[in-house]
Amino acid sequence: MSVPRRVLVPTPVGTVAVESDGSAVVRVAWPAGTEQAAGDDSIDPVLAEAVRQLRAYFAGELTEFDLPVDLGGMSDTARAVLTTLNRDVGHGDTITYGELAARTGTRVSARGVGTIMGINPVPLVIPCHRVIAGDGLGGYSGGESGRDLSTKRWLLEFEGALPPTLF
């Protein structure tokens, strides 16, 4: 029997699918449809640790993920942007697309940073929800279908980067 390389984890922002290649987390996503969360009794050690850390994060006990991540075939620029974000923007902080572009040491534009956030294969683990527009939240492609910006807002409120909404 092979060891599962994918597990579904229920969270306050919907069920999250985490995938591993056995040595690193390769994908975190909100699956479409009505898949049910799976148990984590026989998953590989990378997935088991990812589940543990996700549960701790949503319990308010973890502010920084420490997981091996494989960014696959991403460009050097995309890797630089995601690495800079992960290294420089901590729990409870935000950064604008333009500020992140300037910090990377690349020639990527603010719009380019937005595109890279949209293709981040491991949201939550590399916290693209912390990147905002100069005049508001900006976009977000994570979360359950149709709940993208409300997911971003919830995560930022949960981390204390935004005040809770009144309504």
40 is annotated as an active-site residue = no
| pTM recorded for the entire structure | 0.91
Q: Domains of the chain: which residue ranges?
A: 6-58, 76-158
Tokens of 113: 């940073």
Intervals of the chain under pLDDT 70: 1-4, 33-42, 166-167
Predicted confidence (pLDDT) per residue in 62-79, tens digit = 999 999 999 989 999 999
Q: Which of 128, 132, 155, 156 is catalytic?
A: 128
| Alpha-carbon torsion (163, 27, 58, 66), positive or negative | negative
Q: How many Cα atoms are found within 13 Å in the side-chain-facing hemisphere of 97?
A: 20
The CATH fold assigned to 76-158 is Arc Repressor Mutant, subunit A (1.10.10)
The pLDDT value recorded for residue 47 is 96
Q: Would you state the pLDDT for residue 164?
A: 76
Q: How many CB atoms lie within 10 A of CB 111?
A: 11
Helix (H, G, I), strand (E, B) or coil at 165: coil
